[in-house]
Amino acid sequence: MKSVIPFFMAATLLAATDLKVGVLPFSDATATGGASLGESLGRATQAEIVHATSLEGRVIVLPAGTRSDQLDSEKILALGRDNHVDLMVCGTVLDAKVEDSNHRGSGPSILGQSIGLGLNSSTATVTLQADIYDVASGKKLGSSRLTGTQSENKVSGNVYTSLGSVDTSSQTFQKSTLGKAMQKAIADMVKQVADIARRQAK
């Protein structure tokens, strides 16, 4: 027997799929990231929206000379209207750090000489804030704080202990402990956006 999707459910699904989500460059409340950090995280969030949801994600480019931390709700909504999107996501990096602990041990003995081995234990924590706006109504739909953590044990030290001037879109960063924690936080943020979009479509 063929399953039939009720009309109202199909209409809700279609409406949610049609929603366009604009993603602004992130603000960096840690003041440790490079100049391109905000744009890089905005692109990563847009890519996750496209990958993990049925929504249409769009990267919003700011006017020349404008920073994300200079935007108020009025300007955010105006950018949403100019870019013809339904929802606007304004992200902020609240925290991004790696805590290391080193343990040295004795390795195998070669020609009577013991080799010292260093074990590096790293725990990365990234906290993001997502403010979500409905462009049509002008209302702020929600503000969420999402934390991603990642712990790893490695023989060598962790490459990244803070955001610094690193390229967060690089494979090297994404494979690092801090990069993995960042990806988890972004994934949780996108889930929040998708949940709000579904509620808006009802």
C-alpha distances out from residue 194 to 7, 51, 52, 158, 191, Å: 21, 12, 9, 33, 5
Task: Decide if 110 contacts 131 (C-beta within 8 A).
Answer: no
CATH number given to 21-201: 3.40.50
- For residue 100, what are the β-bridge partners? 122
pTM: 0.79
For 45-65, write each residue's pLDDT tens digit.
999 999 999 999 999 999 999
pLDDT tens readout for residues 116-163: 455 678 899 999 999 999 999 999 999 999 999 999 887 554 455 567
